[in-house]
Amino acid sequence: MRSIFYLLESAPYGSEKAYGILNAAAVSIKMDATLGLYADGVYLALAGQKSCLLDVPNLSDILYAYPELRILAHEPSLAERGLMNRGLVERVELVDEEDFIRQALAADGLIAL
């Protein structure tokens, strides 16, 4: 496989899913790797995350650490959660439903968490 699409539909803190998918995506950057944020996963796109009180890593730092990783946020999920006016991590690309699904299906493999 030459391309892989990681689909995150869980919020970034409160479970290991986002951390797990970010780690898996980070080691896949030799491939054409994309992280798609969908449903509650779009909270990972918000700028200004502060996780120090949770005593867990700031997951948005991982987004900055791997510029090879494309990051897409599903715009309808952001809108449904009232997040369209919030600042986002600069690296995140907003995509509509059709484009999000098209890019997910275009990859050779898809891993959802």
Partner 1 sequence: MKTLTIILTDGPYISQYADMAYKIASRALNLFQVNIFLYLDAVHIPKSGQNPSQFKNTGLLFQELADRGAVVRACARCAAARGYRAEEDGSCPDYLPGIKITSLYDLAEMLEKSDRLIAL
Q: Which residues of the shown chain bind partner 1 in the complex (CB under 8 A)? A: 1-2, 4, 16-17, 20, 23-24, 27-28, 30-31, 108-113
How far apart (Å, rounded) are the C-alpha atoms in residues 74 and 55? 28
Tokens of 89: 């991590």
Nearest CB to partner 1, comparing residues 4 and 95: 4
Nearest CB to partner 1, comparing residues 11 and 113: 113
Sheet hosting strand 70-74, strand order edge to edge: 92-95, 70-74, 32-37, 3-8, 109-112
Nearest CB to partner 1, comparing residues 69 and 78: 69
Nearest CB to partner 1, comparing residues 1 and 105: 1
How far apart (Å, rounded) are the C-alpha atoms in residues 6 and 61? 18
Q: CB of residue 99 vs partner 1: minimum separation in angstroms?
A: 22
Q: CB of residue 31 vs partner 1: minimum separation in angstroms?
A: 6
Contact 99, 70 (CB under 8 A): no
Q: CB of residue 85 vs partner 1: minimum separation in angstroms?
A: 34
Q: Is 22 helix (H, G, I), strand (E, B) or coil?
A: helix
Q: CB of residue 75 vs partner 1: minimum separation in angstroms?
A: 24
